[in-house]
A and B are shown apart, each in its own frame.
Chain A
């Protein structure tokens, strides 16, 4: 449904003016050059394609479809679920009119959540069209599940950052309260990527009311809890209203820009891509103890020929894993659609580390 968002209030000239102002804050070229001369011949990253060269995979290709998601989770973002601290966790979130006031105590979970029905008979290898159809049905059936989603990023085989995300319900409906948590770990600042290991950096919870789809940015009542971990070299998390110094936690409740926490790519988008031939079935391996359909993205797909693989469960027709390879970068995503049991929903809580003081 379009047109529900608020009327635009800014013009393109405002954007130009703000960007020009930013440009005027640039550091001095002399400083950059002098530091560069002192830095020595370090090398990192890749260069774009020179005329006449074949394009090589590079870091700029990584996380193509994912960039917006976690960034939002941080910048404004990572809002939180302190809510959850006070909640009695359980079953489906109730629908609300979207007004403030709003974060209800969660009802008890349903008696069972056995997952969506199997659409294709066991032992049958579905075609891409059958698979896409089965996946769409499966996503609908899993709408009220808790989706747990992990992302691990590797550079040259070394794990450099991880994100763990819980989001419930998996497909929130407009007006429905949604609960999210995002835990981010990275190699501490200054540590070698090759030698260092990732360390817990930030833990955010975000509870909000799901808006109707709109072409405009939307504000919704929300509650953001942010724990910014110390000891990773960072000085703070978030910014502005959500500024949280390292070693503290904060909570902000009010009307905030809506952040879409759902995993990307969207399940329904994946199914449509499969139906359109942007993926081809390349195998039927076992993964995480279950039979799976392995797909490889074709050159017509979103990622323009870079190796991307997807595993879909034969039992549930929900995605299990996706691996993206961009040169020396690899991202591994795993999805888990979980019944909204009390134990599973407990993961939506953001634990406050002992000794951490509230800073906002």
Chain B
């Protein structure tokens, strides 16, 4: 498979993942472009992997986590400008709640958000998330736990970890 073949077949999926990850289509585009530049120059190696897309998503995660802080500060305020044209036809309450949830997602730390996206968008296991993020499974669960707590999400099944410790006062 050539790089062009891969890009033609899978790039849109990578972009969807990057958009969910960053919460911003423009930033997703920038992040994916940076990654693709490196991928194209190393395609001989990457193309030989069993799952090049998984590797590329890992690169996207790394790029997002390392993206300069100003990059997300520079996102024009009001993500609703990226909505496709008009508010959702759903009932207003649902729309407002989704917008509120999106806004709260944007407040999470990048690592918390990354863990959440890998878990709920990609459907990865803790071990897979740990591999992508380069950390331990317990760290992954800590990120997810904190993120869900911040978003006030009720778990179907409780996470089997100890709650993150607060500083003893």
A161–B105 CA distance with the chains assembled, in angstroms: 24
B126 at the interface (CB under 8 A from A): no
User: What's the least CB distance linking A294 to chain B, in Å?
Assistant: 24
The answer on a CB contact under 8 Å between A22 and B107 is no
The answer on a CB contact under 8 Å between B82 and A215 is no
For B102, the chain A residues whose CB sits under 8 A away are: 18, 22
A329–B42 CA distance with the chains assembled, in angstroms: 23
| B116-160 interface (Cβ within 8 A of A) | 116-117, 120-121, 134-135, 145-146, 148-156
A321 at the interface (CB under 8 A from B): no
A42–B40 CA distance with the chains assembled, in angstroms: 11
The answer on a CB contact under 8 Å between B72 and A71 is yes
Interface size on B, residues (CB 8 A): 86
For A8, the chain B residues whose CB sits under 8 A away are: 152-154
A289 at the interface (CB under 8 A from B): no
For A201, the chain B residues whose CB sits under 8 A away are: 70, 73
A64 at the interface (CB under 8 A from B): yes
Return the contact of A51 from the options B49, B75, B120 (Cβ within 8 A).
B49
A254 at the interface (CB under 8 A from B): no
The answer on a CB contact under 8 Å between B149 and A215 is yes
The verdict on A10 contacting B154 (CB below 8 Å), with A19-B121, A48-B55 known, is yes
A109–B65 CA distance with the chains assembled, in angstroms: 41
| A199-222 interface (Cβ within 8 A of B) | 201-202, 213-217
The verdict on A143 contacting B169 (CB below 8 Å), with A20-B121, A161-B70 known, is yes
Return the contact of A14 from the options B62, B75, B101 (Cβ within 8 A).
B101
The answer on a CB contact under 8 Å between B107 and A77 is yes
Binary contact readout A1-37 vs B (1 if CB under 8 angstroms, 0 otherwise): 0100111111110111111111111111101110110
A245 at the interface (CB under 8 A from B): yes
A54 at the interface (CB under 8 A from B): no
The verdict on A171 contacting B169 (CB below 8 Å), with A47-B59, A48-B134 known, is yes
Return the contact of A75 from the options B58, B68, B107, B149 (Cβ within 8 A).
B107
The answer on a CB contact under 8 Å between A19 and B77 is no
Return the contact of B19 from the options A14, A26, A59, A202 (Cβ within 8 A).
A26
The verdict on A29 contacting B120 (CB below 8 Å), with A12-B156, A234-B73, A245-B77 known, is no
The verdict on A29 contacting B11 (CB below 8 Å), with A19-B117, A35-B33 known, is yes
A51–B135 CA distance with the chains assembled, in angstroms: 17
Interface of chain B, helix or strand or loop or mixed? Answer: helix
A34–B152 CA distance with the chains assembled, in angstroms: 41
Binary contact readout A234-253 vs B (1 if CB under 8 angstroms, 0 otherwise): 11111110011100000000
A160 at the interface (CB under 8 A from B): yes
The verdict on A72 contacting B19 (CB below 8 Å), with A8-B153, A32-B29 known, is no
The answer on a CB contact under 8 Å between B73 and A50 is no
The answer on a CB contact under 8 Å between B107 and A50 is no
Most buried by A among B70, B82, B98: B70
Interface residues of chain A, those whose CB is within 8 Å of chain B, are 2, 5-12, 14-29, 31-33, 35-36, 39, 41-48, 50-51, 55, 58-62, 64, 67-72, 74-77, 143, 153, 160-161, 171, 173-174, 184, 186-187, 189, 201-202, 213-217, 232-240, 243-245, 257, 262, 266-269, 304, 329
Interface residues of chain B, those whose CB is within 8 Å of chain A, are 7-8, 11-12, 15-20, 23, 25-26, 28-29, 32-34, 36-38, 40-42, 45-46, 49, 55, 58-59, 61-63, 65-66, 68-70, 72-79, 82-84, 97-98, 101-112, 116-117, 120-121, 134-135, 145-146, 148-156, 163, 165-169
**A15-B120, A61-B134, A304-B134 are known contacts; what are 16 more A-B pairs with Cβ within 8 Å?**
A10-B153, A15-B116, A15-B153, A20-B121, A22-B102, A27-B15, A28-B12, A33-B11, A45-B38, A50-B46, A58-B62, A72-B109, A233-B74, A244-B77, A257-B107, A257-B150
A-B contact pairs, 17 of them (CB 8 A): A2-B163, A12-B156, A15-B101, A18-B105, A19-B120, A28-B12, A32-B33, A36-B37, A74-B73, A143-B169, A184-B73, A234-B70, A236-B76, A236-B77, A240-B103, A262-B167, A304-B135
